[in-house]
Chain A
């Protein structure tokens, strides 16, 4: 049976067009969401799933309009609850590949509880978090990822709160595939989406997404030609952490402290650099990597921070059902209703 399905899957040849719906896309011109949609449609044919088995689920926000634009099954939920809705879908039909499109406000603010619990349980869901560090749909209030001191419509004197670091949060909560990418890095994003699609377990991708209207340029230091090379660190498994326009800077671990080294200073060489291991079973280095964005002077990593395999919630749940069935036999009405303490009236 499995083989037969796999065969069908490979026989069907989709193109990006098959994954577009007939709904007009209505984000602001220039919004980073367009790129995420395009990369998703481009890579969907390679997700290895029949189109009818893919479901996109979202909460509320600009980003959460995403399912309407995909040619798959889709469900636009209520604010913050996408992970909960997706859990119901996945448990009822584990064969479906269930994706979540969500925003930083949607998933990390009102939906924070559902997010951490979905990660904790390692439900086989793929979460794409569109992080524009602002509330777009409600027109420009700060979000739980806005940097401290940010001036917005609801913080005219600057925020006095610290932001969430989504990667750190997902990792701490138990996600088993954790990655970051940027709307402008189209090839990179495609790779992340594709790899998330193949991961069995909770895959979390944070996408830095430019909101042209309310937070334009929030990530320009990572996307502009002049500044990008010095600020962006592309993580690749088995490769040393090297960045800079001329690949002249590296990251060295000094105890548990990451430090930037100059590879041309005659003292350091590439051999001193930390070599990235996505599959490191020890969470320490992944945690250190996730903290880079909290430490001034360090570049922002994109790529897969960590990935590992662990039993999934839906997988174990179905296993338990099968085990009970094989022990007790399939349930019948008679077994259900006629228990020990019955009596007959004639």
Chain B
């Protein structure tokens, strides 16, 4: 039967199955292939906090969503067009998110009475008519995989495991993409188990062929390459981008990179990624706890390295005391907090933006430091470089906020040329004449004098310093002066950061002000409302302390300010208190990113009948 090829602009696919079904792998393979064919894309992995919830249970469902398009896109998509459901639990958990009429490819082999019971289904949804609003395609994935691998000398379990590659092959056929990238991946991944190479490759090919030959599939889809700016691209996740940004900053500065860290979800990948780069003189110290991680990084900064520490919520809290020491000793240090939902252990694998106030104020004493936030997975690369540059050139700790959504999500990064990236100037002090450890330049920055330099032997630490000279001083006026100097030094960073850019009209009825990972959803929402005849502008903060110098100005040009945040109103709180300006809040704390539609609806509500005029 002839198959129709339909050209579509934009598709959202979600792979869902049990945590043991390899859905993250399937999703990331589909992503890599999609990237290479040149679509713009954005991904959202979503997995349970438990490593292995009981197989087939609702709490064990793991998902991977991927939005790809021939246009420029910003988010992983609100509502999937296609769901691949490996078992009843996956269907149950994900059904409510789908578009009406969405295509559901169901592994019908898994819809037995046991799995239906585990998913709390009283009747079989494949038979009871409850899926009538969807385009349901039942495929006995497990069974088909088993027969494709029948003659292989592997256990039933091992054969069954290959079913995700069968599903992937089928999806490759459906969306008309090459399978050779995944073939190569399988070869390297299982290079020590040739029988698994054979099994997985065969399952992948069988899935692809199945799409081609069976009568059930009549339509294939094609999504043309996106018209992205010229250049060489790679797909990158936020954590990977953060790690590569730091290695790049180390190349730019000529400094050794030192990471002191303790594993924690969702930040661990940065440690894992950086531990690969020994040939770049990257030192990764997996410490005994977070306090040790940051303390070692402070020691490393004292010794002259580009020192960083990475963590998430609970670990970030543990680093608080040491951050004060870094402020007091005025050493360059970058702290990455990959935010997750809290308080306490919260929902470890879910995203949130609720550490902003802790980043800004969560220290004893007057301890200002620089706070930055990345806006997309690829932006993590640039912000890691920027954080390093500011830390080094201004001798200050810098907190870089990312979050679980950025960390695991991915998008294409146009790889910049090395020369396009900013220089990072390192000025180790070597001249002993008239040296004082707290001498300051015009930006109030003190010299970086590292151990091993003759003639500059000096002592620093957490006790209050006499300005300039650096010896201990408990003098009341000096303390106040130092508090002011340290604040001014951080405020001076404002001189070097870019002005806030307003996208859209430069003044008017409504400005949507935001920070962190909400950028993409807001951008898409504003584009959407434009087509409905509404008008709003967007301004997104990547620099939070200090704010860009034109922020007050920008705020005053709009009648209403809407601040959507994945918290109860942290930025709103700061803006209100700093600019005495009221703002409208849109808050979501469900451990999930905003949907474009949620922001869209809020904007329309705020604009009321005014239609943006």
**Which A residues contact B (CB, under 8 angstroms)?**
21-23, 50-53, 55, 57-58, 60, 67-68, 70-78, 81, 84-93, 95-96, 113-114, 117, 317, 320-321, 324-325, 327-334, 336-339, 341-346
The answer to whether B281 touches A321, judged by C-beta atoms less than 8 angstroms apart, is: yes
A-B pairs with beta carbons under 8 Å apart, 13 shown: A74-B459, A75-B302, A76-B463, A84-B260, A85-B299, A85-B302, A88-B298, A92-B305, A93-B304, A337-B234, A342-B232, A345-B225, A345-B230
Instruction: Decide: A75 near B231, CB < 8 A? Known: A324-B279, A331-B279.
Output: no
**B90 in contact (CB, < 8 A):** no
A sample of 13 more A-B contacts (CB under 8 A), given A50-B454, A51-B454, A341-B35, is: A52-B456, A53-B451, A67-B459, A68-B461, A84-B287, A88-B297, A92-B283, A92-B303, A93-B452, A327-B279, A334-B418, A341-B235, A343-B37
Q: How far is the CA of A23 from the CA of B461 in the complex (A)?
A: 14
Residues from chain A with Cβ under 8 Å of B451 in the complex: 52-53, 55, 73, 89, 93, 96
B575 → chain A, closest Cβ, in Å? 33
B38 interface contact, C-beta 8 A: yes
Contact status A81-B463, CB under 8 Å? no
A90 to B287, CA, bound (A): 14
Assess the A23–B299 pair: CB atoms within 8 A: no
Instruction: For A53, give the chain B residue with the smallest CB separation.
Output: B452
* CA distance in complex: A87, B36 (Å): 43
CB-CB contacts below 8 Å: B4-58 with A: 32, 35-38
Task: Give the A-B contact count at a CB cut-off of 8 A.
Answer: 205
Residue B322 at the A interface, CB < 8 A? yes
Given contacts A88-B299, A117-B288, A333-B248, A341 and B234 within 8 Å (CB-CB)? yes
Are the CB atoms of B322 and A88 closer together than 8 Å?
A: no
| CB contact under 8 A between A320 and B278, given known A23-B472, A96-B452 | yes
Which residues B454-495 have CB closer than 8 A to chain A? 454-463, 471-472
Residues of chain B within 8 A (CB-CB) of A77 are: 295, 298, 325, 461-462
Residues of A within 8 A of B293 (CB): 84
Residue contact A52 to B418, C-beta cutoff 8 Å: no
B299 proximity list for chain A (CB < 8 A): 57, 75, 84-90, 92
Binding site for A on B (CB under 8 A): 32, 35-38, 181, 225, 227-235, 244, 247-248, 251, 256, 258, 260, 277-281, 283, 285, 287-289, 291-293, 295-305, 307, 321-322, 324-325, 329, 414-415, 418, 450-463, 471-472
Contact B452 A81 (CB under 8 A): no
Q: Say whether A88 contacts B300, CB under 8 Å.
A: yes
Residues of A within 8 Å of B303, CB to CB, are 88-89, 92-93, 96
C-alpha spacing A344/B321, complex, angstroms: 46
Is A325's CB under 8 angstroms from B295's CB?
no
Q: How far is the CA of A88 from the CA of B461 in the complex (A)?
A: 15
Q: Evaluate contact between A343 and B38: CB separation under 8 angstroms.
A: yes
Contact across chains for B278 and A345 when beta carbons are under 8 A apart: no
CB-CB under 8 A for A345 and B285, given A81-B295, A95-B452, A328-B279: no
Give min CB distance, A53 to chain B, whole Å.
Answer: 6
Determine the chain B residues whose CB is within 8 A of the CB of A344 once the complex forms.
Answer: 231-233
Given A52-B452, A95-B452 in contact, is the A117-B292 Cβ separation under 8 Å?
yes
* Contact between A78 and B462, CB atoms less than 8 A apart: yes
CA distance A206 to B357 in the complex (A): 43
- Minimum CB–CB distance for B225 against chain A, Å: 7
What is the CA–CA distance of A317 and B304 in the complex, to the nearest angstrom? 18
B277: chain A residues within 8 A (beta carbon): 331, 336
Closest B residue by C-beta to A110: B291
Pairs of residues from A and B, 7 with the lowest C-beta to C-beta distance, nearest first: A76-B461, A88-B299, A88-B296, A84-B295, A74-B459, A331-B280, A88-B300
The reply to whether A88 and B258 form a contact with Cβ atoms under 8 Å apart is yes
Beyond A76-B462, A85-B298, A91-B296, whether A71 also contacts B279 by CB under 8 A is no
**Neighbouring B residues of A328 by C-beta, 8 Å:** 279
Q: Which residue of A lies closest to B277 (CB)?
A: A331
B232, B277, B461 interface centre (most CB from chain A within 10 Å): B461
Q: Which of A74, A324, A339, A341 is packed against the most chain B CB atoms within 10 Å? A: A341
**Which residues on A sit within 8 Å (CB–CB) of B291?**
81, 84, 114
Identify which of A70, A91, A345 contacts B229 (C-beta below 8 A): A345
Chain B nearest CB from A54 CB (Å) reads: 8
- Whole-angstrom CA separation of A89 from B461 in the bound complex: 14
With beta carbons under 8 angstroms apart, the residue of B300, B322, B454 that contacts A89 is B300
Q: In the complex, A85 Cα to B460 Cα: how many Å?
A: 13
With A84-B287, A341-B35 already in contact, the answer to whether A346 and B279 are too (CB < 8 A) is no
Q: Can you name the residue of chain B whose Cβ is closest to the Cβ of A57?
A: B299
Residue of A nearest to B283 (CB): A91
**Are A339 and B234 in contact, with the CB atoms below 8 A?**
yes
Once bound together, how far apart are the Cα atoms of A333 and B280, in whole Å? 9
Q: Is the CB of B453 within 8 A of A52?
A: yes
Task: Specify which chain B residues have a CB less than 8 angstroms from the CB of A343 in the assembled complex.
Answer: 35-38, 232-234
- A92, A114, A330, A341: the one within 8 Å of B300 (CB): A92
With A325-B278, A329-B279, A339-B234 as contacts: A88 and B285 at CB distance below 8 Å: yes
Asked whether, in the complex, the Cβ of A78 is within 8 Å of the Cβ of B325, the reply is: yes
Residues of A contacting B37 in the complex (Cβ-Cβ under 8 angstroms): 343
Q: Which of B35, B38, B300, B301 has the most CB of A within 10 A?
A: B300
| Chain A nearest CB, measured from B363 CB (Å) | 12
B296 in contact with A333 (CB, 8 Å): no
